[in-house]
Amino acid sequence: MADIQTIVVLTGAGISAESGLATFRGPEGLWEGRRVEEICTPEALFADRELVLDFYDQRRRALATVEPNAGHRALAWLDQHWPGELLIVTQNVDDLHERAGAQRVLHMHGELLSALCSACGARGGFAGDMIGGPRCAVCGQDALRPDIVFFGEMPYEMERIEALLTRADLFVSIGTSGAVYPAAGFVQGARQAGADTLELNLEPSAGSHHFHETRIGPASVLVPAWVEELIAEG
């Protein structure tokens, strides 16, 4: 891969799996017998607010018990040393990329450690539980919800991501099943715009055939090996 300047990395739940956070669509991906597509929706929040808040309260608590793994650390190292343009677009709502030391991170599906006020739209850092938690500090309403992009809502910063994909030299997808759009379509956009495309995943994803290359294995092994290779080639 010659002459790489601009790199877009897409990460999904698979990169955090070895840290101990459950993926969404694996055998342990169900939550109280329900599919995430039934819980993570504006309709579910309206119909059963406690159920939805509890789902995310539990995930926020789990964050305190886990640490970044070798996959996060390798990406953070790359972020700190890559002289060209680089963006880690993550579908993950955990903060493990940042805790590993990465800075060029975009959370397209939002963040567990952020709250959004359904009443006034204010957002800000949040720790603790939302059930029985505080009111909005800006408008005073009891209307805080997780700052998470639910199914049916628009992911964050799509224009910025799409602009970068059109000038990417390399697009790398790590630990994502390719089941959820628009992220699942990034590979096609990047490839059409001329990027080399590489998938690192435990199994071939739904869109594996769109990639120039797919490597199968755990992110904690594949990501450090790829970063090393990239630096050696550069």
Binding residue for ligand APR (CB under 6 A) from 4, 30, 36, 122? 36
Is the CB of 151 or the CB of 167 nearer to ligand APR?
151
User: Could you confirm whether 212 is annotated as catalytic?
Assistant: no
Is the CB of 120 or the CB of 216 nearer to ligand APR?
216
- Rounding to the nearest 10 degrees, give the CA dihedral for residues 220, 221, 225, 227: -10
Binding residue for ligand APR (CB under 6 A) from 19, 173, 197, 201? 201
Specify whether the CB–CB gap between 126 and 153 falls below 8 A: no
Specify whether the CB–CB gap between 99 and 75 falls below 8 A: no
Amino acid at 32: E
Specify whether the CB–CB gap between 145 and 53 falls below 8 A: yes
Instruction: Return the residues of window 102-121 that contact ligand APR according to CB under 6 A.
Output: 109
Specify whether the CB–CB gap between 75 and 100 falls below 8 A: yes
Q: Closest distance between ligand APR and the C-beta of residue 233, in Å?
A: 22
Identify which range of 1-9, 55-63, 79-87, 173-181 contacts ligand APR by CB under 6 A: 173-181
Instruction: Return the residues of window 209-228 that contact ligand APR according to CB under 6 A.
Output: 218-219
Is the CB of 105 or the CB of 136 nearer to ligand APR?
105
111 has which bridge partners? 147
Q: How far apart are CA 141 and CA 118, in angstroms?
A: 9
Which of 72, 97, 107, 109 is labelled catalytic?
109
Q: Closest distance between ligand APR and the C-beta of residue 163, in Å?
A: 21
Phi-psi region of 173 (alpha: psi -120 to 50; beta: other; left: phi over 0): beta
Tell me, by CB under 6 A, how many residues bind ligand APR: 24
Binding residue for ligand APR (CB under 6 A) from 9, 14, 198, 227? 14
**Catalytic center residues:** 109
In the complex, the residues that contact ligand APR under the rule CB under 6 A are 12-14, 17-18, 23-26, 29, 36, 91, 109, 175-177, 179-180, 201-203, 205, 218-219
